[in-house]
Amino acid sequence: MSVVRRPDAGADARPGGGLDARRVVGLILRREFVTRVRTRAFKITTAIMVLAVVGLPVGIHLFGAPSSIRTVGLAPANAAMAAPVVGAARTVGQEVKVRTLPDVPTGERELASGRLDALLDGAPDTLTVVANKGLDDKLRQAVTVLAQQQALNAAITRAGGDPAAVASAVAAAKFDVRSLKPAPRYQGERIALGLLAAMGVVPASEMANYVALGDSYSSGVGAGNYYSSSGSCDRSANAYSVPWANANDPSSYVSVACSGATTSTVISSQLSALSVSTTLVSITIGGNDVGFTNVMETCVVFSTSTCVSAIGTAESEMTADLPGEMNNVLAAIAARAPNARVVVLDYPKLYDLAKSSSCLGLSTTDRTDLNQAADELDGQIQAAAGRNNDVFADVRSQFASHQICDSSSWLHSVDWFDLGVSYHPTASGQSGGYYPVFSQHAG
């Protein structure tokens, strides 16, 4: 029991001596409070409480109330609507993830299992939304905005305009604000966001709207496990864009890459998948423009002299025609997706010449000239990417020790049972060659 000493007589003294009971209780409470304040735990707890009280309004303003992310599936015919769906949802404050399904029955099964919140089917101007029990308000608003945008695009097209150009002009519209009494607001929020970005708490890839374009090296010919819905385009679940999307969970992802594509067919049949909302594009292109398939068939079937002649013709096309063709396709991509980071990947050299003498098949002369042609082609692709301010991603060093004639080749040699896969990356070539290089350059 503690003892309280009696002070000099004064206002708190009472007749007969001793302290007033309230005075005693007050002194004891004060002593206990001072003791606790001096402890480290009390100081830490108090600091946390102060931060919580001060930070709560800022946190609410900065991050808003919690909002669940909805997952929307797209039927194959609607694959090009991935980015518009994300953009429409954001206008009403709803974040969505978009998945392209191989077919409608698969989408319905995903709905039934709860892995999808809605499935979009039908033509852009006559959309059908499939849901389990209906749409919540936010998702309904998002689809309404989407349908209105599609109707507007159709009207612009009928009037002879370009919907992408109109959307780009609208997105570029801006205005300036002049404050009479400018004052910094929410400075703490800006610092917090900077720290979050620096620490990688919110990776940029999770906010990406990603579209994969290009030829058979991007569609995944040779990698197996093809989507039946892709038809003759032979899009593979093992193509480098698929594991990247699985690993990075972008806001939207679609591949429209197609076997046999050239710069002109990319422009005519693939760019509809792009929009001002697209933030990431990958592409392999150029090989078919210079007759890659014909050259390889010539080298396999005919003599070395005929092979060398065919390679020479292709190299002449690389110098004379390919630079302009590459400029055309990259400029068209920039026009359709002005906010996108465009990653242009090249092609591997096919043969490990150090092991050519012990490797059955083409002559070493054929192989040497084919490798030199691949270097020339890749040089033209790199130069085009530079001229158009795009990102060049070189896969050649990644395929070193995994070329044809190596024991662990990531490239198909001639496959007489499936000639289409000849001289294309295997599944390992996509995952070990293209995927890490694209991941490094995707940003």
Catalytic residues: 216, 424
Query: What single letter denotes the amino acid at residue 241?
Result: S
Q: Say which residue the tokens 């005693």 belong to.
A: 24
Q: Are 139 and 95 in contact (CB under 8 A)?
A: no
CB 89 within 8 A of CB 70: yes
Sequence-distant contacts of 149-158: CB under 8 A, at least 24 apart? 149/84, 149/88, 150/81, 150/84, 150/124, 150/125, 151/125, 153/124, 154/124, 154/125
Exposure pattern of 338-375 as b/e (b: 16+ CB <10 Å)?
bebbbbbbbbbbbbbbeebeebeebeeebbbbbbebbe
Q: Rounded CA gap, 201 and 63, in Å?
A: 14
Structure-token match 């429209």, residue found: 256
Sign of the Cα pseudo-torsion (243, 245, 249, 253, in order): negative
Sheet bearing 128-130, strands edge to edge:
96-100, 70-74, 118-121, 128-130
DSSP string, 166-211: HHHHHHH-------SS-----HHHHHHHHHHHHHTSS-GGGG-EEE
Tell me how crowded residue 439 is: count the other CB atoms within 10 A of its CB. Answer: 16
| Strands (E) located in 277-395 | 280-284, 341-345, 391-393
**CA distance linking residue 257 with residue 285, whole number of Å:** 10
Alpha carbon distances (Å) from 165 to 124, 125, 158, 419? 18, 19, 14, 42
Q: What is the token pair recorded at 19?
A: 């302290």
DSSP code string of 370-416? HHHHHHHHHHHHHHHHHHTTPEEE--TGGGTT-SBTSTT-SB----T
Beta bridge mates, 19: 13
Give the pair of three-digit tokens for residue 169: 């002009």
What angle do helix axes 364-387 and 322-336 make, rounded to 10 degrees? 40
